[in-house]
């Protein structure tokens, strides 16, 4: 998979390849990226493991296929990885779902909003994507505000099971301004 950079004022969203994930997880490669304090998180480590375990995805993605990530969030000022954004197709063929994770040391600085906004802009520019969705627990006001700042609108609350317990999720979406 060719590495793609999505640019925003303070961040680069860099495609995370299987080779990158293997290097980062091994922790021994001097070429692996620098990380912000308190990163990678447990979620980011799971993303890295999945990407490393399924390298065939890199080869299956052709030149004409849209880049759906996952992306490392690289801070321009120091080239440190401060988070990740992952994306997946849903049952609806024109819809993708995104999830993001940010180093706690970077919370409150607008990076999540900037990264999600850049990802949404990239995804909705793809000819076969008409909707981007995301969700957060209903009590996670900060994450919900990030989605709202990026133009996403609340759709519904839903109860789901997570780690053997019920959680209430707020679901958000943004549609392409041009119908497919």
Q: Please choose, from the candidates 87, 55, 95, the residue with its C-alpha nearest in 3D space to the C-alpha of residue 71.
A: 87
Lowest average pLDDT, out of 1-10, 48-57, 58-67, goes to 58-67
Q: Which residue segments constitute the domains of the chain, with CATH numbers given?
A: 5-175 (3.40.630.30)
Q: What is the pLDDT of residues 91-140, one digit of tens each?
A: 999 999 999 999 999 999 999 999 999 999 999 999 999 999 999 999 99
Q: What is the pTM of this model?
A: 0.87
**Beta bridge pairs of residue 47:** none
Rounded Cα gap, residues 23 and 26, in angstroms: 5
Looking at the predicted structure, is the pLDDT value of residue 60 above 50? no
- C-alpha to C-alpha distances, 94 to 22, 58, 117, 119, 168, nearest whole angstrom: 31, 21, 19, 16, 25
């Amino acid at each position: 998979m060719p590495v793609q950079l999505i640019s925003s004022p303070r961040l680069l969203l860099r495609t995370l390849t299987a080779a990158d994930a293997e290097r980062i997880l091994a922790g021994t490669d001097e070429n692996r990226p620098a990380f912000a304090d308190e990163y990678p998180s447990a979620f980011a480590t799971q993303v890295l493991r999945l990407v490393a375990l399924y390298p065939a995805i890199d080869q299956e993605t052709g030149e004409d296929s849209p880049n759906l990530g996952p992306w490392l969030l690289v801070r321009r000022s120091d080239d440190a990885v401060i988070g990740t954004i992952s994306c997946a197709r849903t049952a609806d063929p024109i819809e993708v779902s995104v999830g993001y994770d940010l180093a706690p040391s970077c919370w409150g600085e607008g990076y999540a909003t900037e990264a999600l906004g850049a990802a949404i802009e990239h995804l909705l520019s793809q000819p076969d994507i008409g909707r981007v969705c995301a969700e957060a627990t209903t009590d996670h006001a900060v994450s919900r505000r990030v989605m709202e700042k990026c133009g996403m609108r609340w759709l519904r609350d839903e109860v789901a099971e997570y780690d053997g317990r019920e959680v209430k999720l707020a679901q958000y979406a943004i549609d392409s301004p041009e119908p497919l």
